[in-house]
Amino acid sequence: MAEGSRIPGFYKLSLAARRQLVAERAGLALGDLEHALEAGGLDTATADKVVENVLGIYGLPFGVALNVRVNGVDRLVPMVVEEPSVIAAASNAARMVRHSGGFRAEVVESLMIGQVQITDVEHPSAAVARLEAAAPRLLELATRAVPNLVARGGGPRAIDVRDLGQRCIVLHVLVDCRDAMGANLVNSIAEALGPLTAEIAGGTLGLRILSNLCDRRRVHVTCRVHARELVSTPRASRARGAEERNLDIDSLEVVDAIVLASRFAELDPYRATTHNKGIMNGIDAVVLATGNDFRAVEAGAHAYAARSGRYSPLAVWRRDGEDLVGELELPLALGIVGGTLRVHPTARLALQILALESADELAMIAASVGLASNLSALRALATEGIQRGHMSLHARSVASAAGALGDEVELVAARIAGIGSITVEDARRALGEVRAGDA
């Protein structure tokens, strides 16, 4: 990236100025960026070929998270989301993490799972043993099913067989899908293995399909936040002076409050669900922007959160001296080739902005944004409460719904946020006052 992902005052710029700046930083032609973002980047004729019974296009805001640094590399991160404050919150948390070097991420494994189900197996333990012995033969057959993937350096890697009870066994084939999400590839392999698997097992062939619990394709992210960053604004951080001692005391209280909030999620699945929703706010928005399957990602994440038999938080936070340390691990299968990317110019644009070289990089960035989103939510809960910042941003949407135009939106939003009553009725009243004042 030309000048990094730190752009102070970005939200204050006009839409045209933001586009110009992102195009420059990402090394894109401004015209290409504008064309891909116009009307959501998808025309009705193309949409009619993507899904069924098309009537038109449903648009969502396409924004960009700032300040994100993953493994020492700055990224402008495209996000598609309808909820106010998500992009701002992720950007703000990424700024805090940035002062300690940014996020550290790794892909623990990168294998997708294809399942072949066999039922009515008379002697399951013997069938499992036969299938395990036939693993080389099965892998050879699986390899022949995806020659193009093998040519790109991917392909089937291992066979795993389990006895599920009730005369049912399942064969897992583990596949390296390289830069594809891999659903179609894995399904093709599972279909190819089905008949031989049933023959060897001596049972009836059942389902052949991938699993979205891709726990062999996991991402692990950590970050460290200096305590003072949790309470300081960029302006305050430049002017501590005599107030520094009190600031440090308050900041350590915030660290401890965030750790307690994390502990709450570890103790209570009701809290863990909302805790994880905050993580997925960030991840899903990146997944959507890049044309990936957010339903598959959600299903895998929540199944992984319940892998112990009790639903648990995907991210945890601990205090280390005067620093806050966060850690997140989850399954995350994303692709930078195939699927929606073939037809959706805005998804391709998102990948260009990210300047990726692999699907693993995309997974690490998405997970980092998820951890940033979680940090921002916990910090808000531990300090001013979640509603204050969220509702002040939501006020802009309400102002627009009330009929505010142009500069009126910010003026009306400020008024209704100031009185703490963010309703369309109050926004219309404020709009009338603004227009009366202008008159």
pLDDT band at 389 (very low <50, low <70, confident <90, very high): low
Would you mind telling me the total number of residues written for the chain in this entry? 439
For residues 412 and 397, is the Cβ–Cβ distance under 8 A?
no
Sign, CA torsion 162/164/169/174: negative
3 state DSSP class of 322: coil
pLDDT at 310: 97
Lowest mean pLDDT among 3-7, 78-82, 140-144, 220-224: 3-7
Work out the average pLDDT over 245-265: 81
Check pLDDT > 80 for residue 155. Answer: yes
Q: Pick from 207, 254, 290, 267: which is nearest to 376 by CA?
A: 254
Q: Is the four-CA dihedral 331, 299, 61, 386 of positive or negative sign?
A: negative
pLDDT class of 438 with cuts at 50, 70, 90: low
Per-chain mean pLDDT for the chain: 91
DSSP at 11: G
Arithmetic mean of pLDDT, 66-88: 96
Q: What is the pLDDT of residue 392?
A: 61
User: What Å distances lie between residue 68 and 22, 278, 284, CA to CA?
Assistant: 14, 17, 16
Can you tell me the distance from the alpha carbon of 259 to that of 316, in angstroms, rounded to the nearest whole number?
A: 8
Q: Summarize the confidence of residues 10-35 as an average pLDDT.
A: 94
- The mean-pLDDT minimum among 29-43, 155-169, 177-191, 380-394 falls in 380-394
Helices assigned H by DSSP within 182-223: 183-201
Distance CA 425, CA 402 (A): 8
How confident is the model at residue 3, as a pLDDT?
73
Strand partners, 163: 169
What is the pLDDT at residue 245? 38
Q: Could you identify the residue written with the tokens 């969502």? A: 60
| Predicted pLDDT at 249 | 47
pLDDT at 237: 36
> What span, in angstroms and rounded, lies between the C-alpha atoms of 316 and 307?
16
Give the confidence band of 413 by pLDDT, cuts at 50, 70, 90.
confident
Q: Is the pLDDT of residue 232 over 50?
A: yes
> Residues 195-203: what's their mean pLDDT?
98
pLDDT digits (tens, 9 = 90+) for 366-379: 999 999 999 999 99
What local confidence, expressed as pLDDT, does residue 66 receive?
97
Report pLDDT digits (tens) over 325-353: 999 999 999 999 987 777 899 999 999 99
- CA distances (Å), origin 81, targets 98, 292, 332, 342: 23, 14, 19, 22
Domains defined for the chain, CATH in brackets: 10-108+218-383 (3.90.770.10), 112-211 (3.30.70.420), 389-438 (1.10.8)
| Cβ-based neighbour number of residue 219 at 10 Å | 27
220 phi, psi to nearest 5 deg: -120, 125
Burial of 287 (0-12, 13-18, 19+ CB in 10 A): buried
Answer whether residue 185 shows pLDDT above 90. yes
Q: Is the pLDDT of residue 287 over 50?
A: yes
pLDDT of residue 236: 33
CB 248 within 8 A of CB 396: no
Predicted TM-score (pTM) of the model is 0.87
Q: What pLDDT, on the 0 to 100 scale, is given for residue 248?
A: 43
pLDDT band at 422 (very low <50, low <70, confident <90, very high): confident
* Mean pLDDT calculated for residue range 53-74: 96
Active site (catalytic) residues: 83, 277, 293, 390
pLDDT of 307 higher than 90:
yes
Secondary structure (3-state) at 112 = strand
How confident is the model over 141-158, as a mean pLDDT? 98
pLDDT digits (tens, 9 = 90+) for 112-125: 999 999 999 999 99
The answer, yes or no, to whether residue 251 has pLDDT greater than 60, is: yes
Give 413 or 167, the one with higher predicted confidence: 167
Percent of the chain with pLDDT over 70: 93
Nearest to 100, CA basis, from 365, 384, 322, 353: 322
Whether pLDDT at 247 is above 70: no
